Amino acid sequence: MRLRFIALLVGAFVFLFPFYYMLVGSLQAEPDPSVTGAFPSPDNVTGQNYVEINKAIALGRSLINSGIFTGGVILGTLVFGVLAGYALARLHFRGRGLVFNLMLLVQVVPFQLLTIPLYVLIVRSYGLADSYLGMILPFAINSTVVFIFRQYFLQLPAELFDAARIDGAGELSILWRIAVPLVKPALLTGVLVTFIGPWNEFLWPFLITKQQDLQPLAVSLSNYLTTVAARAANPFGAVLAGACVLAAPAVTLFLIFQRRFIATNLESGVKG
């Protein structure tokens, strides 16, 4: 047991050390890329790198833009994911298998191949350039999240749905009052899976808008790291500070939700 604990402790240290080094490096006044830089002296610790980022890209506004962009994508993904997942799992209609196979096929196609057609559709056909909606729409449906919800809904006992239909409940009522409360782990999984993509996305928002007051954090940081960071007093610290700013919300979200990833008793509503 003690050897297992030591092995887990070593594994945790190896995993967490890059994050620690990134944070410490972002707080250094003078760059020290060597291993000894992981343990800087107090005289070399400063928050100036973050101050320079805030001056260059308006950090607060960029965070708000990322929140709107990512929040809109998460909302659309969960709504459409729950509806599509439930339909593919519990509704019987002609062509259901074909729709499911096409959904799996979509996951094989890289998003980069769709960038040009989507740009023409969103910007020229719909006229949604320089808008949050133009950034959100291409990511509003996530086939991976649909697959996750479908698999969870398939695990629910069929007796629950049959009993609800006998009592006269409609499909939307069954979905909202019976199915969704039993698949809360899937909701959390969908949030985390969806969050990472749009939060780190910089290509599509950059194509949609060149206005800095609309650009998400990833786009602003990309522009900062490629144009301004090299001229900073500590370019090494500026790059690490940008990485910390981008990673902090994702790490925080994981720490908040990780305790809630528990198995749900899917058969709790069935007697006997």
Residue-level pLDDT at 88: 93
User: In terms of Cα–Cα distance, which of 167, 135, 156 is closest to 82?
Assistant: 156
Least confident of 22-26, 148-152, 165-169, 222-226: 222-226
User: In terms of Cα–Cα distance, which of 227, 185, 264, 218 is closest to 67?
Assistant: 218
Confidence of residue 272 (pLDDT cuts 50, 70, 90): very low
If you average pLDDT over every residue of the chain, what do you get? 85
Give the span between the Cα atoms of 135 and 66, in whole angstroms. Answer: 11
Confidence of residue 262 (pLDDT cuts 50, 70, 90): low
For range 173-195, the mean pLDDT: 88
Residue-level pLDDT at 268: 47
Higher pLDDT, 69 or 257: 69
Helices within 93-179 (DSSP H only): 96-106, 115-119, 132-136, 143-155, 158-166, 171-174
Least confident of 84-98, 117-131, 217-231, 250-264: 250-264
Give the span between the Cα atoms of 62 and 194, in whole angstroms. Answer: 19
Q: Do residues 106 and 44 touch, judged by C-beta distance below 8 A?
A: no
Least confident of 32-36, 55-59, 102-106: 32-36
Least confident of 4-8, 13-17, 252-256, 257-261: 257-261
Residue 129: pLDDT over 70: yes
174 three-class SS: helix
Confidence of residue 260 (pLDDT cuts 50, 70, 90): low
Residue-level pLDDT at 18: 86
For range 201-210, the mean pLDDT: 89
Domains of the chain from N-terminus onward: 1-46 (no CATH), 48-260 (1.10.3720.10)
The separation between CA 258 and the C-alpha centre of its own chain, rounded to angstroms, equals 14
Residue 269: pLDDT over 70: no
Residue-level pLDDT at 128: 93
Higher pLDDT, 253 or 170: 170
